[in-house]
Amino acid sequence: MIEGTLYDGATAHPHAVSVVVADGRLELRQDSGWSDNVEASVLKRMDAPAGLLRIGRTDSPGWRLMLPAAAEAELGPLLGRHERYGRWIDRIGLVPALVVGAAITVVVVGTGYIAPHWIAPHVPMSWERNVGTAIVGDFGELRCRDAKGQKALEDLVERVAPGATKGPDAIKVAALNVPIFNAAALPGGYIVVFKPAITETSPEALAGVMAHEIAHVRRRHVAEAMIREFGIGALIRLFAGNVGANAEQIVSLSYTRDNEAQADSDAIAMLKRAGISPKPTADLFTKLSKQQREIPGYGAEFLQSHPLSDKRAVKFAAAVDPHRRYEAALSRDDMDALFDICLPRKK
């Protein structure tokens, strides 16, 4: 017979009870004459500090029986093992659970990381275009609408990638009146160039930048990035909180860097075919990297989405053929028109 304390779940009042284990059940008795039998199948272990055995019932939420820890010897077989890590893990053991978990995680992350690269080329361009059109629209007031300038910009695209602005998968290029030095490929074959990238560079350097963005579109890097973002990116951010967000950034950035390098190689090939010198593009990257260095905190290449401009400059500069006569990217008239693309429309 074991002496213990019982809460009945109806009030907080503790009852002194004596407990006897018999025939796979507990027989509880009180001095007042009250008694009760509880089947072992409804008993479960609860958490308790050392020295105490606390038992609950699956069929009665507040019911608690507290016995000295020594009662374990007699009641242990009835109660089974204490739930520790969670039911599944307890069943297979901690170490196997860790191994299985790690293996699944590696497969999931690996797939989420690599798969978009293989899936993206098979996504119909029309789907990507639908998404792009929904997001991009016509840019409203931001877009520079000078007709001659627009024609010159499209000529520049045609110059580095003949036929790129025609056909069902045409690249649509737009200049935006936004005071940031940048250009970007958007879903659906849209390429946007911000004003300073037009007015503060030569057409040859701009040709290099455009070729890079065209390569992103043609290699389906944009679709790839979207798939990765909505797949593994969303998954990791969902469950892992802040630590995961940082981990995810490293994953997605290092991957983007592969694509960036590929886009650079493509761009160099396009410039070569068009007979445009890669030198002005190299100079542009040198200038950008110098500006970057002047802003502290831009240090580690590891965490940047674009390979540091210095390295890219070297790559473009190495592609310069000293024996070749390069041509201008645009005619004088086109150059002037492009330069004025963001001016208010002429009468």
Partner 1 sequence: MESHHEWAAAGDDRAIRFTGNWREYLPIAATNALLIIVTLGIYRFWASARQRRYLWSRTHVIDDTLEWTGTGKEMFLGFLIVVAILAPFFLFIQFLFPALMARGKVEAAGGVFFLFELALVYLGGFARFRATRYRLSRTWWHGIRGGSDDPGWNFGGEYLGRYALVFVTLFIMFPWATTRLWNSRWSAMSFGPLKFRANLDAAGLKARWALIYAAPFAAMIVAFAVIAAVGINLEPASGPNPTLGGAFLVIVLLFYIAIPLATLHWYAKFFRNAASATRLGELEFEFDASTWDWLKLFLGNLALAVVTLGFGLTYWGYRNWSFMVRHTRIYGSVDLGDLTQSTTHAPREAEGFADAFDVGAI
- Rounded to the nearest whole angstrom, what is the least distance from the CB of residue 13 to partner 1 in the complex? 5
Q: Is 127 in the site for partner 1 (CB under 8 A)?
A: no
Q: How far is CA 243 from CA 160, 237, 246, 304, in A?
A: 43, 9, 5, 18
113 near 167, Cβ under 8 Å?
A: no
Which residues, in sequence order, are bridge partners of residue 17? Answer: 4
Alpha-carbon gap, residue 271 to 278, rounded angstroms: 7
Q: Is 54 in the site for partner 1 (CB under 8 A)?
A: yes
Q: Is 136 in the site for partner 1 (CB under 8 A)?
A: yes
Among 37, 41, 58, 105, binds partner 1 (CB under 8 A): 105
- State the Rg of the chain over Cα: 35
55 near 65, Cβ under 8 Å?
A: yes
Chain positions 69 to 98 lying near partner 1, rule: CB under 8 A, are 84-86, 89, 94, 97-98
Output 134 or 303, the one with its CB closest to partner 1.
134
Q: Is 215 in the site for partner 1 (CB under 8 A)?
A: no
Output 86 or 344, the one with its CB closest to partner 1.
86
Q: How far is CA 119 from CA 114, 124, 267, in A?
A: 9, 10, 23
Q: Is 251 in the site for partner 1 (CB under 8 A)?
A: no
- Rounded (10°) CA dihedral 321, 325, 329, 333: 160
Among 137, 179, 322, 344, binds partner 1 (CB under 8 A): 137
| Tokens encoding 235 | 């998954």
Neighbour order of strands in the sheet with 60-68: 35-39, 25-29, 15-22, 2-7, 60-68, 52-57, 43-46
Q: Is 47 in the site for partner 1 (CB under 8 A)?
A: yes
Alpha-carbon gap, residue 31 to 100, rounded angstroms: 53
- Rounded to the nearest whole angstrom, what is the least distance from the CB of residue 43 to partner 1 in the complex? 15
Query: At 153, which amino acid appears?
Result: L
Q: Is 108 in the site for partner 1 (CB under 8 A)?
A: yes
Q: Is 9 in the site for partner 1 (CB under 8 A)?
A: yes
- Rounded to the nearest whole angstrom, what is the least distance from the CB of residue 141 to partner 1 in the complex? 4
Q: Is 241 in the site for partner 1 (CB under 8 A)?
A: yes
Output 162 or 241, the one with its CB closest to partner 1.
241
Q: Is 115 in the site for partner 1 (CB under 8 A)?
A: no
- Please give the residue ranges that form the binding site for partner 1 (CB under 8 A): 7-14, 16, 46-49, 54, 61-64, 66, 84-86, 89, 94, 97-98, 101-102, 105, 108-109, 134-143, 235-236, 238-241, 243-244
